[in-house]
């Protein structure tokens, strides 16, 4: 589908009149979408699975972001906030996840423009068309969307919408530990000793990790941040030992970032390399996990090669994330076969051929699905690919809001300037930076 093939959005059918645009997720991108729609005078409703806004970001709030405040505040959100007396943080400062939530997202969600339209403790279990499964075509674009909502008290109900922006993110659906993409054999027997990415090892989860042998699995920035915190825990006399298990020869996204425009991200490589050389982190490379097993109260991690194994007390799964597509079974999607991102976006972000931070401008046209007026935005739009930055998502939802408002010129005028990572992780990506 080309831009020339895209007609103006069909939001004015009588069955759609008065219905809001449904936004799934009240994280940074979901709330930015709400602010953008508010400025356009379009009714919206935000549904957040957690009991507060930005619940996923709160889970890793102890981690500092690579991006300074300059790249973290959506322009429309800023315009909504400024009349309330909100003071913008120092543009060059690097905040933690918790600071972004408390200083930006909570005040934004509390504004008169957004607060009445946000529902928390509301998990969107499924999206479809009212009275139509995915096989029915006639009149589909003029039929309301129906979202099935699971409430915190266990009850379910359904709400209608004229368009849907899925900004639910990927943090709740991590990739598997197994190199095959499947859970390794034996996982249920040790699952209580496997942590999600970015555990708070120096804070709320200190007692769990202190004095243990911890193996971090994964080769990206989430793994690097956890490794740094585990080394600090060990230096505090906690008796913790740290192993880093990766399936490639090196963790290029972490160790090869000297030219990164975001200096906080660039410094990770040097810091991790120094710790490896000093023996504070033990690296096991070219290890592909096939099976895990409880052996005398510890976890034995078996590789795909005969007899290779690693024994540990705890595992941190920092292998990345994947989109939850289960709720979209009745929606017509066109996703890339490899990274599960919208097909037109995938070539710009596929880590097999492109791993740089610089992403070509993209908006509604790349994100729109065969299902009319349904969009995947934010981290979820990247599928299984890494290197998503908030500024990317903000521009996505600006373009989508313009499209839904019928402002095709603004929707097409997509401009995006991102700091480059300085990393190309494959030989196929030479020159992409």
pLDDT values of the chain reduced to their tens digit, one per residue, 433 residues: 454 455 555 445 578 999 999 999 999 999 999 999 999 999 999 999 999 999 999 999 999 998 899 999 999 999 999 999 999 999 999 999 999 999 999 999 999 999 999 999 999 999 999 999 999 999 999 999 999 999 999 999 999 999 999 999 999 999 999 989 999 999 999 999 999 999 999 999 999 999 999 999 998 889 999 999 999 999 998 799 999 999 987 765 565 555 555 555 567 878 999 999 999 999 999 999 999 999 999 999 999 988 899 999 999 999 999 999 999 999 999 999 999 999 999 988 877 665 445 567 799 999 999 999 999 999 999 999 987 889 999 999 999 999 999 999 999 998 776 655 433 333 332 222 2
At 355 the three-state DSSP class reads coil
Q: Measured between alpha carbons, how far is 157 from 248 in angstroms, rounded to an integer?
A: 46
Angle between helices 221-233 and 263-277 (to 10 degrees): 50
CB 431 within 8 Å of CB 69 = no
The H-or-E segment that residue 213 falls in is strand 213-217
Q: Measured between alpha carbons, how far is 53 from 130 in angstroms, rounded to an integer?
A: 28
User: DSSP readout, 393-427?
Assistant: HHHHHHHHHHHHTT-HHHHH-------------SG
Angle between helices 390-404 and 28-39 (to 10 degrees): 30
Q: Give the position of tokens 């918790």.
A: 98
- Sign for the CA dihedral angle at 187, 189, 193, 199 comes to positive
What are the two backbone dihedrals, phi and then psi, of residue 309, each rounded to the nearest 5 degrees? -160, 160
């Amino acid at each position: 589908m080309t831009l020339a093939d895209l007609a103006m959005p069909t939001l004015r059918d009588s069955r759609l009149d008065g219905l809001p645009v449904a936004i799934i997720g009240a994280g940074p991108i979901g709330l930015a979408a709400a602010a953008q729609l508010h400025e356009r005078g379009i009714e919206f409703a935000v549904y957040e699975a957690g009991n507060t806004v930005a619940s996923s970001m709160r889970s890793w709030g102890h981690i500092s972001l690579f991006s300074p405040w300059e790249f973290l505040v959506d322009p429309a959100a800023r315009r909504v906030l400024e009349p309330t007396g909100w003071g913008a943080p120092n543009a060059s400062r690097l905040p933690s996840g918790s600071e972004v939530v408390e200083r930006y997202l909570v005040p934004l969600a509390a504004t008169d423009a957004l607060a009445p339209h946000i529902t928390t403790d509301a998990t969107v279990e499924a999206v479809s068309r009212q009275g139509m499964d995915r096989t029915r075509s006639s009149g589909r674009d003029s039929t309301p969307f129906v979202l099935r909502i699971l409430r915190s008290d266990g009850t379910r109900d359904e709400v209608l919408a004229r368009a849907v922006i899925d900004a639910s993110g990927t943090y709740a659906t991590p990739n598997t530990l197994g190199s095959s993409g499947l859970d390794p054999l034996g996982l249920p027997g040790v699952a209580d000793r496997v942590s999600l990415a970015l555990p708070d090892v120096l804070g709320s989860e200190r007692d769990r990790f202190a004095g243990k042998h911890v193996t971090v699995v994964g080769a990206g920035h989430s793994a690097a941040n956890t490794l740094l915190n585990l080394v600090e825990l060990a230096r505090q006399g906690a008796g913790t030992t740290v192993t880093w298990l990766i399936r490639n020869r090196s963790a290029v996204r972490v160790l090869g970032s000297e030219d990164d425009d975001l200096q906080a991200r660039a410094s990770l490589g040097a810091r991790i390399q120094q710790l490896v050389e000093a023996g504070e982190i033990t690296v096991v490379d070219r290890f592909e996990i096939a099976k895990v097993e409880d052996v005398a109260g510890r976890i034995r991690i078996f590789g795909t090669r005969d007899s290779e194994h690693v024994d540990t007390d705890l595992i941190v799964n920092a292998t990345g994330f994947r989109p939850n597509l289960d709720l979209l079974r009745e929606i017509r999607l066109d996703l890339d076969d490899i990274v599960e991102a919208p097909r037109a976006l995938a070539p710009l972000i596929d880590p097999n051929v492109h791993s740089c931070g610089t992403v070509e401008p993209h908006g509604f046209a790349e994100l729109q699905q065969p299902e009319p007026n349904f969009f995947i935005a934010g981290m979820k739009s990247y599928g299984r690919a890494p290197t998503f930055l908030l500024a990317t998502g903000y521009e996505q939802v600006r373009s989508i809001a313009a499209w839904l408002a019928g402002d095709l010129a603004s929707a097409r005028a997509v401009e995006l300037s991102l700091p480059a990572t300085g990393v190309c992780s494959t030989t196929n990506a030479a020159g992409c930076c």
